[in-house]
Amino acid sequence: QVQLVESGGGLVQAGDSLRLSCAASGHTFSSVAMGWFRQVPGKEREFVGTISGSGNFTRYADSVKGRFTISRDNAKNTVYLQMNSLKPEDTAVYYCAARRIGAASRVGASSYDYWGQGTQVTVSS
C-alpha cells in the first residue's frame, strides 16, 4: 500500500513560484513511478507531469513544460513539483499519485492507483 500526502500549496501572484511536496509511505517507493495532476471545478483531472521510480525520466504536459519541474528524493520518500512563472490558469487543486505497475499510459489518471488528498494552488493576476 502507498499513502501520499501533498503540501505546499497556497495563494500567490502571477509570476511567482511554489514548490509542492508529496510525502509517500510504502514498501517499494523507489520503484514507483509518480505523477502530478490538477483539477479545477467542472473539469476533468488534468495530467501535469510524471517521474520514473529512479527519477531518470520525466514527462510534462505542454501547458507546463519549461515552467514546472518534477523531482524526487527517494531517501526522503518525497516527490516534488517545482512551479515557476505561475499563471492564473495554473489555479487548481494539485494531486500526486502513484502509478500502477503495467499501466498502459503514463498520462492517464486511470493508470494511477493511489492518490493524495490534494493541495490548493491559487494564482492571482
pLDDT value for 78: 95
pLDDT value for 103: 93
Does position 27 have pLDDT exceeding 80, yes or no? no
Measure CA of the first residue to CA of the last residue in the chain; give whole Å.
40
DSSP 78-112: EEEEEE-S--GGG-EEEEEEEEPTT-S-SS-GGGE
Please say whether the beta carbons of 56 and 72 come within 8 A: no
Please write the tens of the pLDDT for every residue from 105-116.
999 999 999 999
**Which three-class secondary structure state does DSSP give residue 1?**
coil
Q: How confident is the model at residue 30 (pLDDT cuts 50, 70, 90)?
A: confident
pLDDT value for 51: 97
pLDDT value for 45: 97
